[in-house]
Amino acid sequence: MAPQRSVRLSLKKPTYAVCVVGVETSVDVHSAVPKGAETFGVSGSPGVEVFVVYDPARVTGPTGKSRWPLDVSVEVTVSVDAASKDLNDLKVKVSYFGQHQDGALGHSVLYLTGVDISLDVDTHRTGKVKRSHGDKKTWRWGPEGYGAVLLVNCDRDSITSRGPDLTNSQLASLDDLQDMSPMVLSCDGPDRLFDNHKLVLNVPFSDSKRVGVFCSRGGHSLEHYKQVLGPQRLSYEVERQQGEQKISFFVEGLTFPDTDFLGLVSLSVSLVDTGTLPEVPLFTDTVAFRMAPWIMTPNTQPPLELYACSVVDSHGPNKKFLEDMLDLALKTNCKLIVCPQIENRNDRWIQDEMEFGYTEAPHKSFPVVFDSPRNRGLKHFPYKRILGPDFGYVTREILFAGASSLDSFGNLDVSPPVTVGGKEYPLGRILIGSSFPKSGGRRMAKVVRDFLQAQQVQAPVELYSDWLSVGHVDEFLSFVPTSDQKGFRLLLASPSACLRLFQEKEEEGYGDAAQFDGLSYQANRSINEMLADRRLRSDSLYVQKCIDWNREVLKRELGLTERDIIDIPQLFSLKGSYAEAFFPDMVNMVVLGKHLGIPKPFGPIINGRCCLEEKVRALLEPLGLHCTFIDDYLSYHELLGEIHCGTNVRRQPFSFKWWHMVP
């Protein structure tokens, strides 16, 4: 809102001014006063409200005749309640009087033209634009908050477009308008007023590369829509037609929040008097938007699509694995999408390549794939095959350096919603693996960490994963949904739990039962041999210390207790100074609702059953979960990955609206 304008009156001739509906205009009753005048009276024609503002400590209000002392503390303001039908059809009259005279010493006349100018957006976050008289240029978080939301227009609605829609200054599809936030300019007033006044839409220079504005003039077919504001256009003189009272605009976001962008942008409209030199803005209305963040979805959200890759190795194709994935997907009514070898170039690690999330505004939501900077065989798959209508794409590239293993998105996870010391995280918290604090080891690239932090709604937690050869958090943790009040459990790989289990089986007389029994391509190791292997025990106990360090961080940062954590038996061995799973890593599972696709551990067979599988079933099935153990040994485990690494899941967005939280 522009500062209150002041209009100076004249005793010699009428004064003319434009008054915006709902905006008070100050009338200067002190500058042009007849000689001997000590009081004044003021009146307005119908449609004009006149206010006299004074300090009661200095001035006594009039009684009887409405005459006010010409004291500097007495001020007059006027406002209009509707747009004028004609120029100068509203009138304010000021009469000046002497101390003992009934007749006026002089009169000043002010003719007003009312004009209704308002820039409105979905301030109340209902999905529709409504006229707002409140604060439109401030954005507030929370259930009682206000302020409009912009979607980053990062999908591709037209098959003829080469990139995301945000790269186009021309509208490629009318469907693209649905991805934009509506904005309405009210501009009611006499047409003749706009002969010497204009409306100018503006975007600050700092926001111009973050936002684009489209408007249709002359029709509503594709060719009528033009970008009127954006990176190359900081202002736009509105083309108002005769009699036009409302003009619709469509606003798109061009970039997600990041380290150099807090997510807030503003647009404004000004009514400018072109009859003066220099031209004078009479009124400005400003609206604020916040860019909708990219949001991850945890394992507790229902699955929609399961992705996996078709690959061929020296031992043959992974056909059986894909069949197992299809069976699992069918159990949860989840669609399986297989990336063919010609597109993945035998890169099977589809979890490492990308992470599915979504973005949401009150009027629309759509999924967005975050493409990791690893750039291996699957490099082009997210951009070429997933980016499309109502499916967005975002990436962050590492400049001047190559990606490390920790930049892959097996090293990126998110917890279910948690409350920590009274602080609510209704969308969970992002988890990323890193080096031990102050150790100088491998870390996820700063450009990715900065992006995740800047989204604000899923405050990231750094864990210690650099002790692993691959270095990903999904090698030692996972979350599974439960139907109790907590809603989930954290699963942690546990060498100590595995050693205890094997010790129990040895004491029960099953010491000769062998790990990898039945695998022709892997030497058997009996329980007795494994327990006697000091190197294996030492390696696993070292790994347990690393996991225990993360356990305490997770308890502290996610507000967990020991009751919320389940230890999954797992052994590790060191190769040099880094750890690798000794047998298929069971926490590296795919979670599809209540159905878990778990790497088959090929544990010791006791009474016809794998004791590792039986232990995991005993831990998880009482929670209502269904465990399916899947052979991933040759195609994944031997290459230092498992099922989670080789699959990816797009999940249902949260029902909770991110703008209702307070970061």
Q: CB-based burial of residue 388 (10 Å sphere; 0-12 exposed, 13-18 middle, 19+ buried)?
A: middle
Classify 122-291 by CATH class. Answer: mainly beta
Question: Which one of 187, 215, 546, 645 is the catalytic residue?
Answer: 645
| High-pLDDT (> 70) share of the chain, % | 99
Delimit the domains of the chain by residue range.
7-115, 122-291, 295-660
Question: Which one of 363, 472, 637, 644 is the catalytic residue?
Answer: 472
Cα→Cα distances 294→261, 368, 391, 430, 528, Å: 14, 7, 12, 12, 50
Is 195 tagged catalytic? no
Please measure the distance between the N-terminal and C-terminal CA atoms of the chain and give it in whole angstroms.
28
Classify 7-115 by CATH class. Answer: mainly beta
The beta strand positions in 254-324, using DSSP E, are 264-273, 280-291, 295-296, 303-309, 312-313, 316-317
Cα→Cα distances 469→539, 573, 579, Å: 13, 10, 6
* Average pLDDT, rounded, for the chain: 95
pLDDT at 138: 96
User: Looking at the predicted structure, is the pLDDT value of residue 2 above 60?
Assistant: no
Topology of 295-660 in CATH?
Answer: L-arginine/glycine Amidinotransferase; Chain A (3.75.10)
Is 474 tagged catalytic? yes
pLDDT at 256: 98
Please give the single-letter amino acid code of residue 572.
Answer: F
133 pLDDT tier (thresholds 50, 70, 90) = confident
- Digit-coded pLDDT (tens) for 256-300: 999 999 999 999 999 999 988 899 899 999 999 999 999 999 999
Contact (Cβ atoms closer than 8 angstroms) between residue 546 and residue 493: no
- Digit-coded pLDDT (tens) for 64-89: 667 899 988 899 999 999 999 999 99
Mean pLDDT, range 474-487, rounded to an integer: 96
632 pLDDT tier (thresholds 50, 70, 90) = very high
Question: Which one of 116, 474, 539, 632 is the catalytic residue?
Answer: 474
Question: Which one of 352, 407, 539, 632 is the catalytic residue?
Answer: 352
1 pLDDT tier (thresholds 50, 70, 90) = very low
- Digit-coded pLDDT (tens) for 563-602: 999 999 999 999 999 999 999 999 999 999 999 999 999 9
Mean pLDDT, range 337-352, rounded to an integer: 97
Full-model pTM: 0.94
Name the one residue in this structure whose structure tokens are 């291996």: 376
- Digit-coded pLDDT (tens) for 363-373: 999 999 999 99
3 pLDDT tier (thresholds 50, 70, 90) = low
| High-pLDDT (> 90) share of the chain, % | 89
pLDDT at 61: 74
Is 309 tagged catalytic? no
- Digit-coded pLDDT (tens) for 579-589: 999 999 999 99
- Please tell me if the domain spanning 7-115 has the same topology as the one spanning 122-291: yes
pLDDT at 518: 82
Task: Please indicate whether residue 1 or residue 616 has the higher confidence score (pLDDT).
Answer: 616
Is 371 tagged catalytic? no
